[in-house]
Amino acid sequence: MAGYMDKRNQRQMDCEADPSNQDMATFFVLTQFLSGHGLFYAYLHKTGKVRSPKCPNCQENQDDDAFHTFFECMRWTGVRNCLREKLHLAAKDTTPEAVKGKMLESEKNWTTVADYVEKIMNKKILQEAAKGNHGPAPSRELRRHPGLSLK
């Protein structure tokens, strides 16, 4: 990864987008998944970027945070069911702790969870773009397969 030396001679990361670095997009959405900061209305509401913290994708009147998005929102049930099947998790056992634990078991599981997160976050990014809100570009999976359906 490119970098530069700052005034204190400490190496700093060059944060400019590099389209040839496909892993950066995955890292970006996984950071949102793990931290809860990002394209979630509850977080954006706290930072004054949206009027309501409520989920725009379901009628449950729930705050749109990382937990709701990845583990509860009815909009993503199909994708979530595929994740459960691939990780061999029962619905009642699909918790953040269980999914994070499965991620650490193998590279295959890590990739499975990363793909799950990317599918949802790419769709959220496209939804916001359709509303005229500007945000990050969709990640590598969408760039490689422009016709990919994320439903």
What pLDDT, on the 0 to 100 scale, is given for residue 24?
A: 55
Q: Report the pLDDT value the prediction gives residue 39, as an integer from 0 to 100.
A: 85
pLDDT of residue 13: 40
Whole-number pLDDT of residue 23:
62
Residue 14 lies in a domain: no
- The structural domain count of the chain equals 1
Show the domain range for 45: 34-130
For residue 105, being part of any structural domain is answered with yes
Confirm whether 61 is domain-assigned.
Answer: yes
User: Within a domain: residue 21?
Assistant: no
Confidence at residue 30, expressed as pLDDT on a 0 to 100 scale: 74
Q: Cα separations (Å) of 109 from 92, 96, 114, 134?
A: 19, 14, 8, 31
- Specify if 1 maps to a domain: no
142 assigned to some structural domain: no
Beta-carbon-side half-sphere exposure of residue 113 (alpha carbons within 13 Å): 27
Give pLDDT < 70 ranges for the chain: 1-28, 133-151
User: In this structure, is residue 64 part of a structural domain?
Assistant: yes
